[in-house]
Structure formats: structure tokens, C-alpha cells
Amino acid sequence: MSAQPDNSKDPLAPYEDLIVFIDGEYVPAREAAISVFDHGLLYGDGIFEGIRLYAGCVFKLDEHLDRLYDSARYLNLTIPIPQPQMREVVCETCRRNGLTNGYIRLVVTRGPGTMGLAPWLCPRPSVVCIAASIQLYPKEYYEKGLEVVCAATRRTYIGAFNARCKSLNYLNNIMAKIEGHNAGCLEALMLDQSGFVIEATGDNVFLVKGGRITTPPTYQGNLRGITRDFVVELAREAGHEVAEEPITTFEVYTADECFLTGTAAEAIPVIKVDGRPIGDGKPGPITRALIAAFRARTATDGVMLHPSEAVRS
């Protein structure tokens, strides 16, 4: 399955007419700018959230904002907008772009400062909210499944930096993503220093064996995904046993089913890992059922852009 990019089109063309929120103002995308002295640019010093909009419902918005503000506390970063007001910023950005379905990127940087590392010399963080359309994987991959590889690049050691903080520094993930691309795959699994499977480059990992579902625990240094937690909830509602426990490549290779979850990717089957078919090499029944259950709830579990048009669940 080729992961070759299409370089024939301008990747920024779809965003030219967007309205972007930046530091208290809604401006045309072409006018939205961050200082070249911003520590988010210079050092990856900042945080972000990727959020989905389905049929006018900002999916799990409050959970995303909780994680954003937790990430800020971990980095000792003060977000200059109170959480209730940030909720409205996200919704208003979607409204101004006339969206009912799309992807939202909410970014908080340390802000401009000196060219040294000292974050206390950055007097005010910057906040950016972008709302646009997105399609991470082509439709056929949701129907037929992904082929992935295990990257040689290991996940950042939790003692160095806890990946539960969704920071702007994604170089570790990008290096593994390059490995997947070079192997002709759209995604790659990442292991920790002990050889346990932690997550994919941008998604959480689930296995199914004998009807039992497992996913790596967040104490191992992976992101606690909003979609991950929701899929766990859906699986338990459907009567499945779900365990958070360490997994190795042995468990991956011998699983009946494997799937990934993430805000952009939603839930997507994996049918081959390192050249080894997972189960019968096709998306399994539990995976398909959970994808269907997830899609059935996306337009109701969250915050409505126009509350008068729908009842929030």
C-alpha cells in the first residue's frame, strides 16, 4: 500500500479562505502569523489539541480542553484564556468558517521571547485556533484495513518527557512516520526501550484476542487519547472485556484483530504488521462493530455549535 504524497497540488490551497483565531482576533488565514521569536517555533515549546466536528457537534470538546489545560500545567505554561472562554473560541472559529463537519487545531505556544531557552522571558503565550476540513486516510483503508510496520525509532522515555502531555514537539513520532513511509505504509507502531508496543505515530493501538480487547496503559508513556477512552467505553457497553496492559510484538502478530484510534483517524483496522497478516488478514467483526458504534455517536457526544438546533446528549 503506497504512502507516496501528491506533490502536484499546493497543500495550503484549501486553507487560503479560512478565518483563523489568533491572540484574541479572528483574521483571514493569509494574515495569521506567529513571531519568528516564538518559543513554539524555536523550541517546540507549546501544546495543542486536534478536535473533530461532526454534523455541528464539536466531539468531546470538554474532554479535549481538559487535556489541553492539563498539558499546560505539566509544562508550567499559563494559558491566557480561561477554559470556558476557550470553549467559545473553538465554536466561534467553526461558525465563522461555516463548518458543520471538520477538524479543529487548537494551539498554545509559549509566545515570543529571547533566543535562549528561558521560558520565563516569554511574557505572554499565543493562542491559535484553526478549523478546516480533513481526511487522514482514504476511505478504502477503513474498509480493507491498513498495513503497518514496527519502527526502529523508540518512543521517548517517560522519564525524559511524559507523552501524556500533547506538546508541539513531535519529532520522535515524525522519525517513526518516515520509517513507515519508507516501508510503503501510512502508519507505524512505536515501541518503548523495553520492547513494549506503546502506540502508533499518531494513534492509540488496540488488539483483540479471543473476544478480549487490550490496549497499552497510559503509564507506559503514551498519549491518553480521547477517542481511545471513548472506544473503551463503547466496547464495555457492548459487553466486551477491555484490559489496559503491556503488549509486545508477539501479542500483535498473534492477535485476531488490530485497530488504531485517534481524533483524525477515528477508528481504523490494521490487517498486516511487519508483513504478518493479523487474523485472517481482513478487518475483524469486533473492529467493524466498534467503528459503527463510534460513528453513531459522534454527532451527539459533545458541544453543539447551534444548541437550538439539537439537544446535547
Question: For strand 146-150 and strand 266-273, is the pairing parallel, antiparallel, or unpaired?
Answer: parallel
Cα distance between residue 268 and residue 140, in whole Å: 10
Domains of the chain from N-terminus onward? 16-132 (3.30.470.10), 139-297 (3.20.10.10)
pTM above threshold 0.75: yes
- Stated as kind and residue range, the H or E segment containing 127 is strand 126-132
Cα distance between residue 279 and residue 275, in whole Å: 13
Cα distance between residue 304 and residue 302, in whole Å: 7
Strand ranges for 168-301 from DSSP E = 187-191, 197-200, 204-209, 212-215, 242-244, 257-262, 266-273, 276-277
Q: With CA atoms as reference, report the closest residue to 201 among 231, 222, 218.
A: 222
Per-residue model confidence as pLDDT tens for the chain (313 residues): 444 445 457 878 888 899 999 999 999 999 999 999 999 999 999 999 999 999 999 999 999 999 999 999 999 999 999 999 999 999 999 999 999 999 999 999 999 999 999 999 999 999 999 999 887 788 899 999 999 999 999 999 999 999 999 999 999 999 999 999 999 999 999 999 999 999 999 999 999 999 999 999 998 889 999 999 999 999 999 999 999 999 999 999 999 999 999 999 999 999 999 999 999 999 999 999 999 999 999 999 999 998 865 444 3
Q: Which residues pair with 168 in a beta bridge?
A: none
> Cell 500500500, residue?
1
Burial class for 310, CB neighbours closer than 10 Å (0-12, 13-18, 19+): middle
- Stated as kind and residue range, the H or E segment containing 147 is strand 146-150
Catalytic residue among 9, 144, 166, 282: 166
Cα distance between residue 100 and residue 311, in whole Å: 16
Q: With CA atoms as reference, report the closest residue to 45 among 106, 134, 104, 126.
A: 126
The answer to whether 166 is a known catalytic residue is yes
